[in-house]
Structure 1
Amino acid sequence: MISFENVGMRYGMGNEVLTDVNFSLDRGSFHFLVGPSGAGKTTLLKLLYLTHRPSRGLVNFFGKDLVSLERGALPRIRRRIGVVFQDYRLLDHMTAFENVALPLRIQGAKRAQIADHVEELLCWVGLEGRMHARPATLSGGEKQRVAIARAIINKPDLLVADEPTGNVDSEMSRRLMHLFVALNKEGTTTIVATHDEGLVRAVGAPVLRLDKGTLTHEPGGKPVDPGA
């Protein structure tokens, strides 16, 4: 479904941030991305949600060679990817409900369908009382939950989450991971970047570990289960 082959990435004339990165994400797989600050995780995530192209190597998304693909074709592929940004990137002039509903509106979903799905999902992430609040009035943890709901509302083929539990308490962290796992079991390929090694051990999914731009692979310890 998604593969990186001998991918290298550098900015300008600097040293490579990523060196000979090789991995594949099969449809419906679940992986964690871990590594210390400065290891190259942010750069790899940008390649995964298509804001950057690699300096070298082959990248394939959904059967398409991204390196040779025309830029005009990228929006169609991006619509198949849900992204949870560490800095939320909510639209300040929209309510929580409107932010989450936006992907469905872009797809042309009917108003009643949008209302049902958005309300259900916001309740699931514990924001039933904050649906009509604007981002400026939300806490960091509440903004994070809105961002997660927006990323998964249309059940994307690929979900890329950058530190999705970094601003919530342990109980909400487990609840959100349960949501990711449930979505994954319905076929969404999922990759979660995190510093929380305890969460990685609890879930037991395979790990992609970056260190100084070099990627290594670690098998999962047990079946994906956030309640373990």
Structure 2
Amino acid sequence: MITFENVGMRYGMGAEVLRDVSFSLDRGSFHFLVGPSGAGKTTLLKLLYLAHRPSRGLINFFGRDLMTMEREALPRMRRRIGVVFQDFRLFEHMSAFENVALPLRIQGAKKAQVADHVEELLCWVGLEDRMHARPATLSGGEKQRVAIARAIINKPDLLVADEPTGNVDPEMSRRLMHLFVALNKEGTTTVVATHDEGLVQSIGAPILKLSKGDLEHVPGGTPIDPGA
């Protein structure tokens, strides 16, 4: 479980970007994070993937207090989190295959296991012909799919995705969301930030709605037919 209690966040001496944010993410839960530009979504995501510590309040990750966690423990904790960045953050000197394989190699997976898992996942996201291409030669949509594959290849405990379908067509968007849902059903806690109202309706998951740094909890609705 991940819990935020009265979390506030400010940068330097500026006004608080987040104010008294409280919520819980149960293991295996799925939430959307929504809100207009400037609402604080990016800051909340950074707290979720441990890029920052809050200015005040309490954050508990998998039974550990983030505020008192030793700096040396953070890299190990981050390995339990998969992140899909809006700007991809792929390693330019690595191929699509090598980018996706990196989390498994860091974990010490065997070479044959890495090859099987990476090839299967890249085929699933439609990149079977682009496995050995470097990011500079990939389109925005292809880079997005590589970034998603890298984030989920090791089945993280927490998946944080920032606009994961913003650079793909509707059909690929549906396929990627089915992949997220399948991973979630296996126990991965999932938070997806998006402006796509149709995407939110298609899943019907609970919503964390930010507005000017304040958080509102919205229960999930009834999912629509994905094929509609």
Are the counterparts in 1 of residues 95 and 134 from structure 2 also a CA contact under 8 Å? yes
Helix, strand or coil at the partner of 2:179: helix
Letter in 1 for 2:158: L
What is the Cα deviation at residue 198 of structure 1?
A: 1.1
Match of 1:3 in 2: 3
Do the aligned partners of residues 33 and 224 (structure 1) sit closer, same or farther apart at CA in structure 2, a change above 3 Å counting? farther
Are the counterparts in 1 of residues 202 and 223 from structure 2 also a CA contact under 8 Å? no
Structure-2-length-normalised TM-score:
0.98
Q: What are the within-5 Å matches in structure 2 for residues 90-105 of structure 1?
A: 90-105=90-105
Do the aligned partners of residues 94 and 58 (structure 1) sit closer, same or farther apart at CA in structure 2, a change above 3 Å counting? same
Measure the CA separation in 1 of the matches of 2:168 and 2:128. Answer: 16
What is the Cα deviation at residue 68 of structure 1?
A: 1.1
Match of 1:12 in 2: 12
What is the Cα deviation at residue 220 of structure 1?
A: 0.7
Helix, strand or coil at the partner of 2:174: helix
Match of 2:122 in 1: 122
Match of 1:89 in 2: 89
Are the counterparts in 1 of residues 201 and 224 from structure 2 also a CA contact under 8 Å? no
Question: Which residues of structure 2 form unaligned runs of 5+?
Answer: none
Measure the CA separation in 2 of the matches of 1:227 and 1:155. Answer: 26
Measure the CA separation in 2 of the matches of 1:17 and 1:113. Answer: 43
Question: Which residues of structure 1 form unaligned runs of 5+?
Answer: none
Are the counterparts in 2 of residues 178 and 227 from structure 1 also a CA contact under 8 Å? no
Helix, strand or coil at the partner of 2:32: strand
What is the Cα deviation at residue 207 of structure 1?
A: 0.3
Measure the CA separation in 1 of the matches of 2:77 and 2:226. Answer: 29
Letter in 1 for 2:40: G
Match of 1:145 in 2: 145
Measure the CA separation in 1 of the matches of 2:224 and 2:217. Answer: 17
Match of 1:31 in 2: 31
Q: Taking every aligned residue pair, what percent have the same amino acid on both sides?
A: 86
Measure the CA separation in 1 of the matches of 2:226 and 2:176. Answer: 9
Measure the CA separation in 1 of the matches of 2:27 and 2:170. Answer: 29
Helix, strand or coil at the partner of 2:104: helix
What is the Cα deviation at residue 14 of structure 1?
A: 0.6
Are the counterparts in 1 of residues 9 and 18 from structure 2 also a CA contact under 8 Å? yes
Residues 29-71 of structure 1 show CA distances to partners (whole Å, capped at 9, x for unaligned) of: 0000000000000000000000101000000000000011111
Helix, strand or coil at the partner of 1:17: strand
Are the counterparts in 2 of residues 7 and 56 from structure 1 also a CA contact under 8 Å? yes
Do the aligned partners of residues 207 and 29 (structure 1) sit closer, same or farther apart at CA in structure 2, a change above 3 Å counting? same
Do the aligned partners of residues 80 and 133 (structure 1) sit closer, same or farther apart at CA in structure 2, a change above 3 Å counting? same
Measure the CA separation in 2 of the matches of 1:225 and 1:75. Answer: 40
Structure-1-length-normalised TM-score:
0.98
Larger displacement relative to structure 2 (65-74 or 132-141)? 65-74
Are the counterparts in 2 of residues 28 and 188 from structure 1 also a CA contact under 8 Å? yes
Are the counterparts in 2 of residues 162 and 194 from structure 1 also a CA contact under 8 Å? yes
Letter in 2 for 1:27: R
Helix, strand or coil at the partner of 1:37: coil
Residues 126-172 of structure 1 show CA distances to partners (whole Å, capped at 9, x for unaligned) of: 00000000000000000000000000000000000000000001000
What is the Cα deviation at residue 227 of structure 1?
A: 5.3
Letter in 1 for 2:23: F
Are the counterparts in 1 of residues 159 and 189 from structure 2 also a CA contact under 8 Å? yes
Measure the CA separation in 1 of the matches of 2:15 and 2:138. Answer: 40
What is the Cα deviation at residue 218 of structure 1?
A: 0.6
Measure the CA separation in 1 of the matches of 2:219 and 2:163. Answer: 21
Helix, strand or coil at the partner of 1:51: coil
What is the Cα deviation at residue 222 of structure 1?
A: 3.1
Give the superposed CA RMSD. Answer: 1.2
